[in-house]
A and B are shown apart, each in its own frame.
Chain A
């Protein structure tokens, strides 16, 4: 019979490879073997996602594989989350995120949300078609350090600008960090409208947020 270690390594590998069915089976087996759920998440699942993120940054894998891996991760998280003790641990930071007003696309943004949550951030996802004022209200309400704005369509540019301006003009304007990302945006535009950072894709979104908050890992 295989050892718990083998099963757990298999689980990690299955998530990396995006084998959702396999990952779920191995997760089930790990739980049957009475492995501590927290240990499964901290020592195998999150490291698996980190491997995926790293490979993506190194251009070893690309968006489809990352999405497939992320989906396997999500499926496992859905199973294991109820088994985890209520989290008391300190969060790395609070991020309010949403798709800009006028845009209904959210696949990229959802990926960022998942990656952030698994990197220890508290994420408040405002969904799609978010008016500038809502970003401000929510960021203020939850005392966020970072606001993330996602925009897929090139026609979203004026609203990205408006959102950044509205945030800057608000009372939290001088302490909030703003990061923008999505297919339509360019670094020049993002910096010219007064945002703090630009992320070309989901994986770099997480590292850029860590960068602007000066978090090391």
Chain B
């Protein structure tokens, strides 16, 4: 067929297409952000676009008719469904533009003081050169002379950057940076500054941390949306994408790397350093992200028996992975535990230290999936419960990511007469994010406006309670332009299912545990930590009888990754944690279904 042009408004990006393609596919190539939460399946309707004019476009599919209804006649289409074959101009509705969803806030601290690197210097002697046949051994001999006892190893790569021996002899000084016996850098000049970088790669958000290795401190941090969102919001839709498209994995991988390299630059700009001053990297993330970064096929993560390619730690030259750090830098991928339990939760265990405590603790990373660990210094049980994208506010009628303008808190007063909303950034409400939904449920429950089976009460003022397309709904906000934010009973049902699954996961682990009662609960994950501990109790996510106080740590996985950045010892500890962890598969547990149903009700019992 003849090539044709496609223009995206309002950015006025135009590009050439040469075959029949969906608007979403073309937009990805054009670098235009269109949300694709369901991975282009025509289920969620979030990729709605307005076709201004077109000389060749497919007829609306059944999915489009169902989702868009009357909007079709005004020219709206789903980008993932509409196939183009001739010149077309498309306008992306403002509210749908994901480029506006930027988590600009840095990552909150609470970092432990990390042990910095040690630093050795010595004078190069003629006798060193006489005694050794190679540059490598000269360095090792010098280290030995400085009282370095253990067998050290020098990465040959590090020696490549060193000036020739005759020049070194003139200046005579050698500087070496060490951490737990691992040589990070060798130079002829005093090493002023040296940095490491840690990444926590989530499906939705990537956290990045720049660590000053000399000081042992976090020097900068950043959170950015994972650019792979265009290929599907939840992790499984990305796996599908990698399987259905011949270049799927490559596309996912390059999108991830581009995002990470951009973050490296941004982090460097924050404190005015260069990426080549970063000599070490640590990556944690869910197992799918781990596999994508490494270019491992994803099929085994998506099908029973669900096995990752490896559960060992991996150390690679940064430049071989496509991550732009120092020429001689390395990247460490901490080991995942299982297909649904990534190195992120393993790192979170390291950060919270529950594997060292005598009393049992419960650690949960709550997101679309919930990873749960229960244990102490003797034994760690772990599992993963599929919650639901609904839990994070996605797939909800008025759901949105935690972006500026998202409702994050809901308070009810006067029996529902007054509903007070708090949005991120204090802006006019644009939608509601997961923590807002949970907060709303907790407040309605407290005020008796919702039953424990999830029904909206008729005590809610009639101005707010109404019959919508999908059953009863409650109106939280109505703007001057008529824009509305509602929560439907159906959505409450979805949240209950997600909550029930997580609670059942905890209960299954408790039954396997059989020991002392849990004395400490920690909730982490950028979503999990945004939830109010009292809200979690109100909706009954934490079983009764479990420790009363719930602690939230915003980024335990990131903290764990930073800790691992500062040395082999911590990385060995991570490996020990992985071998301590016993994985309990929920879907095969005979009690899970029963416990799930028990855990559905919105009650603290």
Contacts and interface: CB of A to CB of B under 8 A. Distances in A.
Interface stretch (A59-67, A117-125, A167-175, A202-210): A59-67
A30 to B, nearest CB: 24
A155 B471 contact: no
Chain A interface size range: 20 to 34
Interface string B474-514: 00000000000000011011101100100000000000000
A166 interface: no
Contacts of B588: 104
Given A59-B471, A71-B597, A65 B493 contact: yes
A191 to B, nearest CB: 8
B597 A67 contact: yes
Contact of B471 (A60, A104, A153, A158): A60
A67 B600 contact: yes
Interface string B433-467: 00000000000000000000111000000000000
B contacts with A: majority SS: helix
B63 A154 contact: no
A64 B62 contact: no
B601 A68 contact: yes
Contact of B304 (A67, A71, A103, A187): A103
B62 A59 contact: no
A154 B497 contact: no
A153 B489 contact: no
A157 B240 contact: yes
A88 to B, nearest CB: 31
A64 B471 contact: no
Contact of A64 (B41, B237, B243, B497): B497
Given A59-B490, A71-B597, A186 B43 contact: yes
Contacts of A104: 304, 306, 585, 587-588
Contacts of A67: 596-597, 600
Given A60-B471, A62-B489, A153 B236 contact: yes
Nearest to B43: A186
B493 A186 contact: no
Given A59-B490, A62-B493, A102-B303, A155 B239 contact: yes
B470 interface: yes
Contacts of A128: 304, 587
B17 interface: no
B236 to A, nearest CB: 5
Contacts of B39: 154
B419 to A, nearest CB: 22
Given A68-B601, A102-B302, A186-B43, A63 B493 contact: yes
A62 B237 contact: no
B62 A154 contact: no
A214 interface: no
A188 interface: yes
B596 A155 contact: no
B453 A68 contact: yes
Interface string B58-79: 0001110000000000000000
B304 A102 contact: yes
B536 to A, nearest CB: 18
Nearest to B496: A64
A18 interface: yes
B411 to A, nearest CB: 25
Contacts of B41: 154, 186, 189
A129 B588 CA distance: 11
Nearest to A60: B471
Nearest to A157: B240
A186 B593 contact: no
Given A104-B587, A155-B240, A64 B600 contact: yes
B405 interface: no
B259 to A, nearest CB: 22
Interface centre among B244, B453, B500 (most CB of A within 10 A): B453
Contacts of A154: 39, 41, 232, 236-237, 239-240
A50 interface: no
Interface string A138-168: 0000000000000001110111000000000
A207 to B, nearest CB: 18
A155 B39 CA distance: 11
A62 B498 CA distance: 14
Contact of A105 (B62, B239, B587): B587
Given A63-B497, A188-B63, A107 B596 contact: yes
Given A105-B587, A187-B63, A18 B497 contact: no
A68 B304 contact: no
A89 B226 CA distance: 58
Contacts of A28: none
Nearest to B491: A62
B206 to A, nearest CB: 22
A158 B62 CA distance: 21
Contacts of A197: none
B42 interface: yes
Interface in A186-200: 186-189
Contacts of A107: 593, 596
Contacts of A186: 41-43, 63
Contact of A158 (B42, B243, B492): B243
30 contacts: A60-B471, A62-B454, A62-B471, A62-B489, A62-B493, A64-B496, A65-B454, A65-B455, A67-B597, A68-B597, A68-B600, A71-B594, A71-B597, A103-B304, A104-B585, A105-B386, A105-B587, A107-B593, A110-B593, A153-B302, A154-B41, A154-B232, A155-B239, A155-B302, A157-B240, A157-B244, A186-B41, A186-B42, A186-B43, A187-B63
Given A154-B239, A188-B42, 14 more contacts: A18-B453, A63-B497, A64-B454, A64-B601, A102-B304, A106-B593, A107-B593, A110-B593, A153-B302, A155-B240, A155-B302, A157-B240, A186-B42, A187-B63
